[in-house]
Homo-oligomer: A and B are copies of this chain.
Amino acid sequence: MRKTILFYGLSLAALVFLMKVLEYRFFVRDFSLEFYVGVVAVLFTALGVWVGLRLTRKKTAFVVMPSGRFVLNEAALKETGISPREHDVLDAMANGLSNQEIADKLFVSLNTVKTHTSNLFVKLDVKRRTQAIQKGKSMGLIP
């Protein structure tokens, strides 16, 4: 990551240098300012397109377990401080259940489920249940 930033920086520097060259090569020779600016504009537009393309390359590594059974990562459980009940909720959540359905399944009230989910989000450092599921899976908390 640092390398790419450095690379962008160097590219910018190179372009600035090119600008200076153009400035003394063309501008002083009575080329119009519009022309000069136009060149700069085109150049930087191209740079922008290129950077835009670079930036949107996806990288999201995904760790899947095609083999046998799912093993719970208990170390991660302790690190995050997720309680057994919260873990139940996370599991139900990952199965696509709504809070109300989770409440019915666990025989508790809707409010209780909400409390659990809220605490869960804090402990997982996420904002939405979809993210919680994602993170839970990647951490080996749920299958």
Contact residues of A with B, CB < 8 Å? 15, 19, 23, 27, 33, 36-37, 40-42, 44-53, 55-68, 70, 93-98, 126, 128-131, 133-134, 143
Contacts and interface: CB of A to CB of B under 8 A. Distances in A.
B37 A96 contact: no
Given A23-B33, A51-B52, A61-B65, 17 more contacts: A19-B37, A27-B33, A41-B44, A44-B44, A45-B51, A48-B51, A52-B52, A52-B53, A56-B56, A58-B63, A62-B67, A62-B70, A63-B67, A94-B130, A95-B134, A97-B130, A129-B130
Number of this chain's copies in the assembly equals 2
A81 to B, nearest CB: 21
B58 A67 contact: no
Contacts of A58: 63
A26 to B, nearest CB: 12
Contact of A130 (B47, B60, B93, B126): B93
Contacts of A129: 130
B128 A98 contact: yes
A96 B128 contact: yes
B48 A130 contact: no
A46 B48 contact: yes
B49 A131 contact: no
Contacts of A36: 37
B15 A62 contact: no
A60 to B, nearest CB: 7
